Amino acid sequence: MEKIKLRILGISYSQSQSGAYALILIEHSGKRRLPIIIGSFEAQSIAIELENMKPTRPLTHDLFKIFVDTFRISIKEVIIYKFADGIFYAKLICNDGTNNFEIDSRTSDAVAISLRVRCPIYTYESILNAAGINIDDENPEASSPDDTIYKEKVSNKKNEDNEFSKLTLPELEELLNSAIEDEAYEKASKIRDEINRRKKGK
């Protein structure tokens, strides 16, 4: 199965879950984006590394890097290999100098570690098809695959109840395009899920 390389596009506040954030990954040479809900600690850890900030004491992910460096274990890559019931599953592909082995990980932890060890992040076409959001319009941020972007946005809009089931399919598709244009990726992912449910039910 062919792997698709991802990069970090940004982090934004979750619109519906208090204290949560949306981590946005994007195809390295494409437009599809993968929004992943993560906790505040993991968001802070990722942001600190993206901003090249050095905490006074090592965070958990810094400690992990110190550990693998001390014992000469290399992290070759991170793979987001599964998406089920709204949850992403990831693993670290490691090498101890002799053998390759895999370590199961929460996706947020895997991304935070990948930043520190400078290893690539991959996923599969099936994951992007199931959970990705297509960006049709040109975006200067999306067209610079070598740039790593950290953005923290606060939405002033009120949280809306999930009443997508009352909308028609054309209305949902129009709402999806609007959410993507506003970079409301968490909302867009929920609309996309509703559209997929409708199409599967036909």
Residues 6+ positions from 189 with CB-CB distance below 8 Å = 35, 131, 133
* pLDDT, tens only, 66-106: 999 999 999 999 999 999 988 999 999 999 999 999 999 99
Supply the pLDDT for residue 126: 95
Supply the pLDDT for residue 140: 41
Which residue positions in the chain have pLDDT lower than 50? 137-162
Class of domain 3-156: alpha beta
| Pairwise CA distance, residues 124 & 109, whole Å | 19
| Pairwise CA distance, residues 74 & 69, whole Å | 7
Residues 6+ positions from 19 with CB-CB distance below 8 Å = 39, 40
List the structure tokens of 136: 């049709």
How large is the angle between the packed helices 169-181 and 185-201, nearest 10 degrees?
A: 160
pTM for the predicted model, two decimal places: 0.72
| Pairwise CA distance, residues 17 & 39, whole Å | 10
Supply the pLDDT for residue 8: 95
CB 14 within 8 A of CB 154: no
